[in-house]
Chains A and B, each alone.
Chain A
Amino acid sequence: MLLDFALPAHDRKLIPEGRLSGPMPWVIAIMLFLTILIAAMGLSLAYAIRDGGNDLAQQATVQIIEPDPIERATQKVAVSRLLREIPQIDSVNSVPDGEVRNLLKPWLGNDVIDADIPVPALIDIRFKNAPDGATVRALKLRLEEAAPKIRIDSHSSWMAPFFDLMSSLILLTLAIFMLLLVATSAVVILAVRSTLNTHRSTIEIMHMMGGTDLQAARLFQRRVALDALLGGVVGFGAAAAVILTLGGRIAAVEPALLADATLPWYGWLILAIIPLAVMCLAMLMARWTVVSALKKML
């Protein structure tokens, strides 16, 4: 019975409960605050590059750079038809010339665009799965039959450095997360030992009066679990407040570059598991510490 909270009131008196009085709940609160924050960061980044990243990586733009407008139009139709026949491609969206001009306006200026300079024909395509370089090259070869002056810009290629950075950041947060977990465990272990030292005489007295190892362990474990739980609640609450505030700021950033870098709902579940896991660790440690201390007595 690990989660043995149903101790009679008089048993609880044997080892007084801290109620945030000792240092242990506060240290655990701080450690958990940091652990949860870093976990939230890692989760958000991972979520952003998996969902947003996948989305971008599936897309590519086909450009037909043909100066003659009539020729360009026929090639565009031919290429679109070809693209639609390729099974790996999910959708083909031929961008109207007017829209292309609008896109270019900020770069080239109204005057230039209004003059009849040639602009490339654009076709947005979306692959079923993010294509690799070979796929893109094969596609280009095939499309060159219909339009010799063709370019394919797969978004994954220009996004690659960004994703590399993101991946490094995720690895970094993972490493910090692991280090914090190790430090938190160490804090829990030290706290359990110091609590045992404080209450060693009580445990010895109970032992001499015929208390079983389990009776002592249960009392002790309950106290330690309460400390860890209080620390966990405080740490989680503080971290949640920070995450929500930051999430609001991120959502307000224009353009919505970071829009995907917010925590998905299941991320909160994972974050909530962290304090519970630390509490369970504390209880197991408490039980183990008491039982092994008692085992040394007859």
Chain B
Amino acid sequence: MWRVFGLMQSVVEFDNVGLRYGTGAETLTDLSFTLYPGSFYFLTGASGAGKTSLLKLLYLAHRPSRGAIRMFGHDAITLPRDRLPGFRRRIGVVFQDFRLVPHLSTFDNIALPLRIAGIQEKDLKSPVTEMLDWIGLTERADARPATLSGGEQQRVAIARAVIGRPEMLVADEPTGNVDPEMARRLLQLFAALNKLGTTVVVATHDIHLLQEIQGAQMMRLDKGRLSDPTGSLRHPPRPLVLKN
């Protein structure tokens, strides 16, 4: 199957976006880029460069201080608050600190997005079981997050983010707590989701990961600014043809 990116509608468009926490200096400055459906992006940069802040804009946890953001073809700045839940359900998020619900079992944590979306109980057993198998935690289906290791919690967080087959997946340092072998497995999971059409954005400072995904693009943040040496983020080569 051949995909022609240049003819596709964008998933996300940032235009001169700035983000300022409180009254300090801007944490993110002059961000302009476009994310296309089915693409895979790595967001890199030193600690404190603003990766998490940029992802928060992507998963609609924050509104920018200035600039324009379009998401799924809608102006995300002026979107009324009551339409945000519908947009959030199209985005899967792996939080840097996992944010699992402490009193829910592994199974119930992974099933959470499906339940929020109103999926019937009979229809969610098989995808959740399948996902548990993928992340190798079938045995721990009934365990609470507190009894899982850091790496296991991270896998649960990732499973929860991808279970709903989101149109966009945003992951903040998703392989920070797992061994290299598991990191590769998790990236394969992202890649598989990406093949199904999900736009993936992975923030990481692990350079080795970048080689794992063929055709992935790199976004580099430096002190809140996006360095775009090739200009491909602002002006992607079009038509860009990628073989799946």
Q: Which residues of A contact B (CB under 8 A)?
A: 8, 10-11, 13-14, 16, 201-202, 204-206, 208-212, 215, 295, 298
Is B139 interfacial (CB-CB < 8 Å)? Answer: no
- The reply to whether A209 and B63 contact each other, CB–CB distance below 8 Å, is no
Q: List residues of chain A with CB within 8 A of the CB of B82.
A: 212
- The reply to whether A206 and B86 contact each other, CB–CB distance below 8 Å, is no
Please judge, given known A-B contacts A10-B111, A209-B88, A298-B62, whether A16 and B116 are in contact too, CB under 8 Å: no
Is B187 interfacial (CB-CB < 8 Å)? Answer: no
Q: List residues of chain B with CB within 8 A of the CB of A10.
A: 108, 111, 115, 121
Q: How far is the CB of B40 from chain A (nearest CB, A)?
A: 22
- The reply to whether B86 and A210 contact each other, CB–CB distance below 8 Å, is yes
- The reply to whether A209 and B116 contact each other, CB–CB distance below 8 Å, is yes
Q: List residues of chain B with CB within 8 A of the CB of A11.
A: 115
Q: List residues of chain B with CB within 8 A of the CB of A208.
A: 59, 61, 88, 93, 99
- The reply to whether A211 and B85 contact each other, CB–CB distance below 8 Å, is yes
CA distance in complex: A210, B86 (Å): 6
Q: List residues of chain B with CB within 8 A of the CB of A211.
A: 85, 116
- The reply to whether B81 and A205 contact each other, CB–CB distance below 8 Å, is no
**Of A202, A204, A209, which one neighbours B89 at CB under 8 angstroms?**
A209
User: Chain A: which residue is nearest B63 at the CB level?
Assistant: A298
User: Chain B: which residue is nearest A212 at the CB level?
Assistant: B85
Q: List residues of chain A with CB within 8 A of the CB of B4.
A: none
Q: List residues of chain A with CB within 8 A of the CB of B81.
A: 295, 298
Q: Mark B91-102, 1 if CB is under 8 A from A, else 0.
A: 001000001011
CA distance in complex: A205, B99 (Å): 7
User: Chain B: which residue is nearest A215 at the CB level?
Assistant: B116
**Of A205, A212, A215, A298, which one neighbours B60 at CB under 8 angstroms?**
A298
Is B74 interfacial (CB-CB < 8 Å)? Answer: no
Q: List residues of chain B with CB within 8 A of the CB of A209.
A: 88-89, 93, 112-113, 116
Which of B99, B108, B116 counts the most A-chain CB atoms under 10 A from its CB?
B116
Sample of 16 more A-B contacts, CB < 8 Å, known A13-B103, A208-B59, A298-B62: A10-B108, A10-B115, A13-B104, A14-B101, A14-B112, A201-B101, A205-B112, A208-B99, A209-B112, A210-B85, A210-B90, A210-B116, A210-B117, A212-B82, A298-B81, A298-B84
Q: List residues of chain B with CB within 8 A of the CB of A298.
A: 60-63, 81, 84
A-B contact pairs, 23 of them (CB 8 A): A10-B108, A10-B115, A10-B121, A13-B103, A13-B104, A14-B104, A14-B112, A201-B99, A201-B101, A204-B99, A208-B61, A208-B93, A209-B89, A209-B116, A210-B84, A210-B85, A210-B87, A210-B113, A210-B117, A211-B116, A215-B116, A298-B60, A298-B62
- The reply to whether A8 and B108 contact each other, CB–CB distance below 8 Å, is no
Q: How far is the CB of A132 from chain B (nearest CB, A)?
A: 64
A-B pairs with lowest CB-CB distance, top 6: A210-B89, A210-B88, A210-B85, A211-B116, A212-B85, A209-B113
Q: How far is the CB of B115 from chain A (nearest CB, A)?
A: 6
Q: List residues of chain A with CB within 8 A of the CB of B86.
A: 210
User: Chain B: which residue is nearest A216 at the CB level?
Assistant: B116
Which of B81, B89, B103, B115 counts the most A-chain CB atoms under 10 A from its CB?
B115
Please judge, given known A-B contacts A208-B61, A209-B89, whether A202 and B115 are in contact too, CB under 8 Å: no
CA distance in complex: A201, B99 (Å): 8
Which of B63, B88, B108 counts the most A-chain CB atoms under 10 A from its CB?
B88
Q: How far is the CB of A33 from chain B (nearest CB, A)?
A: 31
Q: How far is the CB of B118 from chain A (nearest CB, A)?
A: 9
CA distance in complex: A12, B122 (Å): 17
Please judge, given known A-B contacts A10-B115, A211-B116, whether A205 and B85 are in contact too, CB under 8 Å: no
User: Chain B: which residue is nearest A201 at the CB level?
Assistant: B99
**Of B89, B108, B116, which one neighbours A13 at CB under 8 angstroms?**
B108
Q: List residues of chain B with CB within 8 A of the CB of A8.
A: 121
